[in-house]
Amino acid sequence: MRILQLIQKKQLRGAETFASLLSNHLIASGHKVKVVALLDGDGMLPLNGTIHVLDAQLKKRFWDFAAWKKLAKIIQEFQPDVVQANAGDTLLYTSMSKRLHGWKAPIVFRNASITALYLQGFVNIWLYRFLFTQVKAIASVSNASRQSFLQYFPQFAHHIQVLPVGVELQIVAPKQLPQHFTIVHVGGFTYEKNHEGVIRIFEQLLVQIPNARLIMVGAGKLWSTIHDKVKQQNYHNQIQMVGHQQDALAFMNQAHVLILPSIIEGLPGVILEAMYCKTPVIAYDVGGISEVVNDKTGYLIPKNDEAAFVDALVAVANQRPEGKIEAAYQLVTTQYNNKSIATQFATMYQQVVAQA
């Protein structure tokens, strides 16, 4: 098959990273894949190939005729069997390009988050309802994401199925845990990742474990705000902000625990990666997190219960939870590896083409 993957930007974000890894596995299975980004960027995505850039003008996203035409030209030249829109503005661009230029390939939409996160107001809901009329299949990252989507768009229930993110089965370096109890948080510096909550939890932990350390991996629009807060509170010796990292897995592998007290999530790949490198996970019960984190595989904390979060951190510091770690590893390697997930995507594409 010939598959075109449209991503928002060349950036190290979950949707773009997974689209790149998915493309690699599809190519390895004999499919032809072209990856196109709406925007250029400095993120070194893990794609074994070239990313073509549309140079879209997002300030003109509702009348970006030049980018819609450019996308149509790429599709005309590549002749894909399927076009997959991967979150962000990609659905808008694929849908409008198809309507205006009449290309025939069916559109698949990857629903990588909770619908309420990006739907605000009647006009936005109406717009997406209009866009989804062009979509032949929806791959939702988790059951929670699927349910959230159907609350807004029940008329598209027959199009949607759950296809999660996964991990790359790779050799992981042996663990060499640091002397100090080290916590890692991985995620873009956005509202939904709740970095202020991360710092509050860490502050409370320091009362019980004064020599604890926190590493925050990622970048984003709130990075400077959080950096200033860390500096003002004189935590520069305990909190390390390392920015974007090509190999975030290495940081998770050398930490005692991964924390994710997010406000909103779909199914974050960093949790699966931590489980794969046998780092225990503590996370709020939001979005699809409970589909992988439970009493057997980690520590699932009620949203905003910072005291319970700290208690879980102290428990991990006192004794490494080997049973949870092994159960989490088995879950990820058997049910959430990207090679098998790519096969599921290929099956979905074949079904879409057969029905087109």
Alpha helices in the chain (DSSP H): 14-28, 65-78, 90-101, 115-118, 122-132, 143-152, 195-208, 223-232, 248-253, 269-276, 306-318, 322-335, 338-355
Edge-first strand listing for the sheet containing 82-86: 51-53, 32-39, 2-9, 82-86, 107-111, 135-140, 160-162
Q: What is the 3-state secondary structure (H, E, C) of 283-320?
A: EECCCCHHHCCCCCCCEEECCCCHHHHHHHHHHHHHCC
The Cα–Cα gap between 101 and 289 comes to 40
Averaged pLDDT, 68-93: 96
Which pLDDT belongs to residue 338?
A: 94
Q: Global pTM?
A: 0.87
The Cα–Cα gap between 278 and 324 comes to 9
The Cα–Cα gap between 4 and 34 comes to 5
Least-confidence region, from 90-94, 121-125, 269-273, 281-285? 121-125
Give the whole-number percent of the chain exceeding pLDDT 90: 82
pLDDT tens track for 117-128: 667 778 888 888
Complete domains list, the chain, with CATH: 2-166+337-355 (3.40.50.2000), 182-335 (3.40.50.2000)
**In this structure, is the dihedral angle defined by the CA atoms of residues 130, 134, 138 and 141, taken in order, positive or negative?**
negative
Coil, helix or strand at residue 135: strand
Averaged pLDDT, 152-157: 92
pLDDT tens track for 187-226: 999 999 999 999 999 999 999 999 999 999 999 899 999 9
